[in-house]
Amino acid sequence: MKTYHWLAASVTILALVITACGGPPATVEVTREVPVEITKEVPVEVTREVQVTVEVPVTPQPEAELEFILVQHALCAWDSFWCTVEQGIQDAAQQMGVKVTVLGPDAFDLEKTAALIDQAVAGRPDGIALTVTDPVLFKEPIMRAIDAGIPVLAYNAGAGPIKDGIPYMTYLGQDEYQGGYLGGLRLAAAPGAKAGVCLNHQVGHAGLDARCQGFLDALKEKGQTAEVLAITNDPAESQTIISDFHTANPDVNVFLTLGPNGANPFYAFLEAEGLAPGEVWHGTFDLSPEIVNGIDTGVTQFAVDQQPFLQGYGAVMLLTLLRRQGIVPALPVTPTGPGFVDKSNIGIVKQLAGQYR
């Protein structure tokens, strides 16, 4: 086996250029001076180095029998968004002829998810893909996988090895903060928008928290107040929480939900309260038949699309390419979004929602 090493840092990049077909490794050191303009007094981390080590075959092994374990913080069984991710995982496994096991908790539980990462490591698979839902909590079990020589990559949740401070290969997903920020700008520009709320069904999930922060920052930038409301993965309970909040805060007319588990109880709240499009403004993340209908009817202004099928499919594909062909992901972040689906393009994706989008 050959071992790839590289250093990723904010001001110095050390790239190791290694040819898969043989020949000695060539080392190229690139140093950049990056001007930094500080406009307010905040703690600034100037340099962060993360060494990523990946073992790849000395020669291609295109027929190698492979087994991967994927660990995620949610499952299709209780969060419909993940049905599309898992469809991508299963399709890739079938098409590439690899065995895949998906592990996840039976409810949102980050401690249990961290324990499942250790369970995956104990299985000694050919590769592990996982959601870095909490980079602080997950760092130790992920490092145990990497130290054991198991290739690791992140999908759906994470910010990349540099920002997360964990030397996995790459993050396959969207920039969560930008999704919330850009969505917030759209909602803040809606006619009559006054104040907003981000409905978070998994508080503590670093990605969802980042979406809400982006939303808050966008509304603040436009002179509007906003806050975060914690709901749950239980639709009836969440509907009650939203209704009680609306009663106590009648001036709030801008709502951001973070996926089907937030959007569905929001739609139920609208129906129960008799609120029509134009009385409130709503944006959400991800797609489902209900969200597609919301966009079609004007209840929902947009959905932020992170391409969940691609995340699941791509995680299996990247591990397979690594193990069989020795191909390493080129960048610390492999983006799948954010993109926006609204009335202008809903017709393109509506038939694929919940299956491939």
Residues 167-193 pLDDT 10s: 999 999 999 999 999 999 999 999 999
Average pLDDT across each block of 10 residues of the chain; the chain has 357 residues. List them in order. Answer: 43 33 39 43 49 64 95 95 96 98 97 98 97 98 97 97 96 97 98 97 96 98 98 97 98 97 98 95 95 96 96 98 94 95 92 78
- Report the C-alpha gap between 9 and 333 in whole angstroms: 14
Look up the pTM and report it.
0.80
Q: Which residues contact 156 (CB under 8 A, 6 or more apart)?
A: 72, 85, 131, 172, 173, 207, 306, 308, 311
Which candidate, 14, 60, 11, places its Cα nearest to that of 32? 11
Residue 142 host element (H or E): helix 135-147
Which residues on neighbouring strands pair with residue 6, listed in sequence order?
Answer: 52
Contact 165, 320 (CB under 8 A): no
Task: Note the pLDDT of residue 48.
Answer: 54
Nearest to 303 by CA among 172, 180, 155, 193: 180
pLDDT in tens, 56-90: 655 788 999 999 999 999 999 999 899 999 999 99
Sign of the CA dihedral running 310, 329, 208, 76: positive
Dump strand ranges (E) for 78-201.
99-103, 127-130, 152-155, 171-174, 195-200
| φ/ψ (deg, to 5) at 64 | -60, 135
Cα gap 188→281, rounded to integer Å:
9
Q: What pLDDT, on the 0 to 100 scale, is given for residue 57? A: 59
Q: How many CA atoms lie within 13 Å of 318's alpha carbon, on the beta-carbon side?
A: 29
- Alpha-carbon dihedral of residues 283, 287, 293, 295, nearest 10 degrees? 30
CA dist 32 and 12 (Å) reads 6
Angstrom distance (rounded) from CA 234 to CA 324: 42
pLDDT given for residue 56 in this prediction? 60
Predicted pLDDT at 44:
42
On the question of a cis peptide bond just before residue 332, with omega within 30 degrees of 0, the verdict is: no
Q: What is the pLDDT of residues 233-243, one digit of tens each?
A: 999 999 999 99
- Here the tokens at position 92 are 């890739």
Domains of the chain as residue ranges with CATH = 176-306+342-349 (3.40.50.2300)
DSSP codes, 175-241: -HHHHHHHHHHHHHTSTT--EEEEEESSTT-HHHHHHHHHHHHHHHHTT-EEEEEE--S-HHHHHHH
Distance CA 292, CA 260 (A): 11
State the DSSP code for 167: -
